[in-house]
């Protein structure tokens, strides 16, 4: 009510509400960088600026440099490079109460095991002690560090193994005041999106520490993408390009049409990233046109740390990123609770913050994320293999195209997925699409080829017997 009262007397929405946010964030012990980042986002929200990126303001990107054309490798560059994995996600969408990176995938190993082995293999193969760090969240830090204790050499000498991402206050939609939910105070806060990488590095002292030790380049990717390893050809290309920032992009397919795409500013020609939440609803069809907008952001990014520090210094400690506004309820489990806005940023959107930023087309082998149990079943199957350097990649027979898996909603959570495949995953090596409807149990020795649908209309689970099923619908 106080904010609304202030508006009547000519005070701007930002000026009326900001003091309460600053007080709340300082009381929570958040860094100056975290407060500055949220202040920028909140100012953008209250300014009345259009947070959408309409089609008329952008142009498609017709072509990109191709990874396939890269040949040069300079291992000496590893000495001034740090590899960072984003590891703040709990995987709640898959029914998890722990870091998603702790999920078992293949051979009794989880994401963290594969990442640690990838780093150790690169160090061994090149003779260079590649620097490695994680960006954890408060919710993932303890479990992650406990698991990685089995890799005592993983931590880089003179650097912490982790820095932690920040949190941001939720905004009441009605009057833009800080959300209050005394029965569950944790519900008053939300993750600020992975664009928080930059203020988290600044506020934790990580950026200064890396620069002080002579690190110049950062390769950052999601912990659930086991295809995103340190690649010497890409590192050498990035260093030789002298670009401040580069994004690894993959060719969009129908399976990727709802995700963010690369584009160019119609006004400047500079590269930018448009997420689905930034697309006007009336233009959704255009947004999903994969023939027009050909490339998507894999969230494998290369950053020149000196350029990052310079750009943030020039903007009063903030990296100006487009603000994404998500409407939620303050208690996600109570749809009748106060309507709030969560202000988020995407780390890939920084491509628009650097003049001269680049993008490069990479093979699908560098993009194998797990966002759903559909992805997880595909990755568990024989459609993927583990390389000698501990990457998870599609087998050659797949021609770079992953199998499409559409499981019944009953298998949304990991525990339920295990009831579908108690005897291990089926063979999906030659499967183009697998659809499961109803309660089903796969026996050991099930092979799918082509497009197969398995359905059970009854209330009790039924078992699909061992055998090969090809281009057919199986009613149990």
Query: Which residues are part of the catalytic machinery?
Result: 371
Query: How many other C-beta atoms are found inside a 10 Å radius of the C-beta of residue 31?
Result: 18
Query: How many other C-beta atoms are found inside a 10 Å radius of the C-beta of residue 3?
Result: 21
Question: What are 353's two structure tokens?
Answer: 């913050």
Instruction: Give me the helices (H) in 291-332, please.
Output: 305-314
Q: Give the residue from 159, 147, 191 showing the smallest Cα distance to 41.
A: 191
CA distance 441 to 80: 50
Which residues touch 293 (CB under 8 Å, ≥6 apart)?
A: 60, 61, 252, 261, 262, 263, 287
Q: Which segments of 8-80 are extended strands (E)?
A: 58-59
Please provide the distance, in angstroms rounded to a whole number, between the alpha carbons at the two ends of the chain.
59
- Angle (nearest 5°) at CA 54 between 268 and 304: 45
For residues 81-120, b (16+ Cβ closer than 10 Å) or e, as one string?
bbbbbbbbbbbeebebebbbbbbebbeebbbbbbbbbbbb
Contact 228, 297 (CB under 8 A): no
Decide: residue 363, CB within 10 A, 0-12 exposed, 13-18 middle, 19+ buried: middle
The residue assigned the tokens 């260079």 is 128
CA distance 383 to 405: 12
CA distance 139 to 87: 10
């Amino acid at each position: 009510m106080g904010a609304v009262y202030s508006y009547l007397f000519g005070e701007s929405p930002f000026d009326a509400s900001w003091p309460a946010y600053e007080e709340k964030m300082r009381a929570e012990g958040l860094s100056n960088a975290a407060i500055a980042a949220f202040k920028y986002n909140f100012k953008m929200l209250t300014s009345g600026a259009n947070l959408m990126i309409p089609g008329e303001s952008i142009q498609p990107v017709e072509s990109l440099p191709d990874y396939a054309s890269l040949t040069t490798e300079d291992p000496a560059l590893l000495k001034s490079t740090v590899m960072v994995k984003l590891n703040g996600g709990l995987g709640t969408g898959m029914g998890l109460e722990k870091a998603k990176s702790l999920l078992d995938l293949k051979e009794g190993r989880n994401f963290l095991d594969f990442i640690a082995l990838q780093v150790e293999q690169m160090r061994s193969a090149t003779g260079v002690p590649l620097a490695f760090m994680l960006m954890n969240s408060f919710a993932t830090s303890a479990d992650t560090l406990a698991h990685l204790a089995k890799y005592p050499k993983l931590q880089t000498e003179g650097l912490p193994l982790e820095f932690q991402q920040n949190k941001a206050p939720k905004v009441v939609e009605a009057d833009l005041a800080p959300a209050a939910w005394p029965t569950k105070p944790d519900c008053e806060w939300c993750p600020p999106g992975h664009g928080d990488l930059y203020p988290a590095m600044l506020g934790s002292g990580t950026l200064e520490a890396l620069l002080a030790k002579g690190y110049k380049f950062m390769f950052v990717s999601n912990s659930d993408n086991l295809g995103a390893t340190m690649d010497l050809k890409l590192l050498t290309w990035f260093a030789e390009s002298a670009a401040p920032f580069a994004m690894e992009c993959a060719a969009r397919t129908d399976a990727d049409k709802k995700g963010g795409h690369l584009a160019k500013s119609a006004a400047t020609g500079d590269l930018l990233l448009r997420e689905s939440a930034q697309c006007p609803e009336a233009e959704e069809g255009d947004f999903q046109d994969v023939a027009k907008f050909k490339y998507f952001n894999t969230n494998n990014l290369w950053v020149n740390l000196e350029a990052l520090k310079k750009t943030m210094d020039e903007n009063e400690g903030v990296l100006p990123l487009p603000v994404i506004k998500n409407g939620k309820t303050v208690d996600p489990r109570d749809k009748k609770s106060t309507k709030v806005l969560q202000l988020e940023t995407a780390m890939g959107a920084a491509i628009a913050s650097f003049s001269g930023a680049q993008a490069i087309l990479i093979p699908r082998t560098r993009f194998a994320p797990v966002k759903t149990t559909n992805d997880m079943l595909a990755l568990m199957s024989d459609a993927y293999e583990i390389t000698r350097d501990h990457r998870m990649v599609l087998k050659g027979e797949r021609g770079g195209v992953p199998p499409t898996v559409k499981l019944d909603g009953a298998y949304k959570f990991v525990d339920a997925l295990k009831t579908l495949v108690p005897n291990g995953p089926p063979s999906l090596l030659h499967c183009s699409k697998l659809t499961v409807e109803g309660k089903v149990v796969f026996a050991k020795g099930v092979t799918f080829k082509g497009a197969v649908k398995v359905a059970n209309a009854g209330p009790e689970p039924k078992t699909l017997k061992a055998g090969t099923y090809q281009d057919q619908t199986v009613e149990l």
